[in-house]
């Protein structure tokens, strides 16, 4: 049964996995906040699609690697929907640079997008959800990657490092807030057919590689990740906490 009272904020939701999560969540009755940084047109189109299908959604611009912008984003979400039930920390970027190319700009940008953003958004979510501060509990789902345990592709040490940090954060946060009515879990996608792979030459080469390295013989689709994320947010996963679910075709 759909629950039109629940709300969800999805960061990095204008395209790819984030957009699939937002769309599926709206179909399950969630009021959805669609965060974007630069892809305004895509975010507004997704909001329009959700509304045409009878759902409720709002697009909120913010660079989630910036603490003050995250605070503003949550305030705009509050104004739109009044409360927060679920946070999906999906925003992030895929980067490829060799260790000899590391500098302050590429490393700080990558960790800002993939790690700092998760801390900032979780901070604001916990303030709102925690029963210790008058909230009614909630769910946080963090988007990791199998790169955290496989090391990623060549030139992927920076990216893999951010996702390894996120895996540790996920478990630690679960221990910190579990007693306050907040469930925390993560999802580790494998090779998924989205535009994020443009940094490695595009979707087609990635899908070809998947045929050789993924036991199931194919890349996954963003909708396949979204279904797991939305399940983790649901009451069906009520005793799943501090876990990481691989969605990687056996890789």
Residues serving a catalytic function are 159
Q: In angstroms, rounded to a whole number, what is the distance separating the alpha carbons of residues 232 and 235?
A: 8
- Yes or no: say if 248 and 228 are a contact pair by the CB < 8 Å rule: no
Spatial distance between the Cα atoms of 91 and 73, rounded to a whole number of angstroms: 13
Q: Give the strands of the sheet with 7-10, arranged side by side.
A: 56-61, 31-36, 7-10, 86-89, 138-143, 182-189, 244-247
In angstroms, rounded to a whole number, what is the distance separating the alpha carbons of residues 152 and 158?
A: 9
Reference 57, options 120, 89, 10; nearest CA is 10
Q: What is the rounded distance in angstroms from the CA atom of residue 146 to the CA atom of residue 126? A: 26
User: 116: which DSSP letter?
Assistant: I
Contact 188, 245 (CB under 8 A): yes
Residue showing tokens 């916990």: 126
Nearest-angstrom CA–CA distance, 172 and 176: 6
């Amino acid at each position: 049964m759909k629950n039109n009272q629940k709300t969800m904020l999805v960061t990095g939701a204008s395209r790819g996995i984030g957009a699939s999560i937002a769309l599926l969540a709206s179909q399950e009755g969630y009021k959805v906040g669609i965060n974007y940084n630069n892809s305004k047109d895509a975010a507004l189109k997704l909001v329009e699609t959700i509304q045409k299908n009878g759902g409720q959604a709002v697009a909120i611009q913010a660079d989630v690697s910036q603490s003050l912008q995250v605070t503003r984003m949550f305030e705009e979400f509050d104004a739109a929907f009044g409360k927060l039930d679920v946070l999906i920390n999906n925003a992030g970027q895929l980067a490829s640079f060799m260790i000899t190319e590391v500098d302050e700009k590429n490393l700080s940008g990558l960790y800002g997008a993939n790690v700092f953003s998760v801390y900032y958004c979780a901070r604001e979510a916990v303030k709102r959800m925690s029963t210790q501060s008058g909230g009614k509990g909630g769910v946080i789902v963090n988007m990791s990657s199998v790169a955290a345990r496989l090391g990623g592709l060549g030139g992927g040490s920076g990216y893999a490092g951010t996702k390894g940090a996120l895996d540790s954060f996920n478990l630690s946060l679960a221990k910190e807030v579990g007693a306050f009515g907040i469930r925390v879990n993560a999802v580790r996608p494998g090779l998924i057919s989205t535009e994020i792979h443009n940094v490695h030459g595009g979707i087609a080469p990635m899908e070809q590689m998947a045929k050789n390295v993924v036991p199931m013989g194919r890349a996954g689709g963003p909708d396949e990740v979204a279904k797991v994320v939305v399940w983790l947010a649901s009451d069906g996963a009520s005793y799943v906490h501090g876990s990481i679910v691989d969605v990687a075709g056996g890789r």
